[in-house]
Amino acid sequence: MAKNASPSYEQIFYLGGTGVSGIRDLSAGYSVGQKQVRVLGAGFVREVIAEPLRGEFSMTRDMLYQDPVLDLTGEYPVSGTLLYGVEIGAGNEKVYGFNTGYLTSYSINCSVQDVPTMESTFAVFGQMGSGAREGELDYSGTAPLQNLGVVNHESVFLTYNGSGTNRAVSVSQSYDINRVPIYTLDQKTSETYYAPAEVVTEYPIEITTNFTIEMDDYDTANMIDNIRSGNYQTIGVEIRLGAKEETLNGHQVVGSTLCLQDDAGECLGDDGAGITRYEFLSTTGHLVSESIESSVDGVLSVNLEFKDYYNKD
């Protein structure tokens, strides 16, 4: 009997029925919380489940196109399936899937040394585990999205108060979404025995933005003044992917325009000059942290952290 491993190039991941491209790594798993039951005169009797079941799924992706995962910050759950096997497409793939997953953490990271990446984490309150192809844990659907273009630091433009003479070298933004499962004491008669009756999103959603700049004429805020009156800035990051041959994949001409395309063959945010533009983060945040750093093999830099909050209404 053959004993074959499953290399990454023989795996396809689907989220919400749509294939996801650019994945660097992913992980999924669960743990069962147990405690011992002890009684007088008998000591240890047995172990029981001490807390509701909860799994977790996370992945890191290269930024290749405008990310669809951020739209999953709403009230509805999502399903996911990893197809793996020796012959993808032959109908005999193996499946690892989950349902009732809610996005709990999302972050974007950019720096001049690396390709921008996106990290996302989901809490899973439904089923999670291995299943059969086209079975109850197979939520695969359309083919993976095309690799529309590779984003590097040349395409990332950070704007803030003082951008121009002070050089930005890194930026990141994270969304912290608190999901609260609601359980009931009703009689359970189906496979949803351990699933919550409802999952509530606690608002506001906290948005944290960090960036590092090399200081020229940048002036840090006075700590006491910041506490008394606050220090707010509007921060934005724009991605610009030009009509360069090395950034395009396949046939990328729509009419007479050279641009990055989506699966429907439409230009993504084309500005008429063959440059695809989109913003992936923009916020008006409250400055909560500043720290300066210097070393003999570097330059003077300052790290800034801003907090912002998103309400449902």
- In the chain, % of residues over pLDDT 70: 73
> Residue 165: is its pLDDT beyond 50?
yes
pLDDT, the chain, mean: 78
> Is 297 domain-assigned?
yes
> Residue 76: is its pLDDT beyond 80?
yes
Cis amide linkage into residue 7, ω under 30° from 0? no
Backbone angles phi, psi at 69, to 5 degrees: -65, -35
**Cα–Cα distance measured from residue 299 to residue 91, given in angstroms and rounded to the nearest whole number:** 57
Domain count across the chain: 1
> Residue 268: is its pLDDT beyond 90?
no
> Is 34 domain-assigned?
no
> Residue 158: is its pLDDT beyond 70?
yes
Mean pLDDT of 90-116: 85
Q: What is the pLDDT of residue 250?
A: 46
> Is 135 domain-assigned?
yes
User: Which has the higher per-residue pLDDT, 100 or 284?
Assistant: 100
> Residue 162: is its pLDDT beyond 70?
no
> Is 72 domain-assigned?
yes
Mean pLDDT of 10-22: 84
Q: What is the pLDDT of residue 251?
A: 46
Range of the domain at 192: 9-26+45-310
> Residue 34: is its pLDDT beyond 80?
yes
> Is 2 domain-assigned?
no
> Residue 140: is its pLDDT beyond 90?
no
User: Which has the higher per-residue pLDDT, 230 or 248?
Assistant: 230
> Residue 46: is its pLDDT beyond 70?
yes
> Is 31 domain-assigned?
no
Cβ-based neighbour number of residue 274 at 10 Å: 18
> Is 1 domain-assigned?
no
pLDDT for 118-135, tens place per residue? 899 999 988 898 888 888
Q: Which helix or strand (DSSP H or E) is residue 180 part of?
A: strand 167-182
**Cα–Cα distance measured from residue 14 to residue 59, given in angstroms and rounded to the nearest whole number:** 12
Please list the residues that pair with 172 across neighbouring strands: 109, 210
**Cα–Cα distance measured from residue 216 to residue 164, given in angstroms and rounded to the nearest whole number:** 10
> Residue 42: is its pLDDT beyond 70?
yes
Q: What is the pLDDT of residue 105?
A: 93
pTM: 0.81
Cis amide linkage into residue 204, ω under 30° from 0? yes
> Is 301 domain-assigned?
yes
User: Which has the higher per-residue pLDDT, 92 or 104?
Assistant: 104
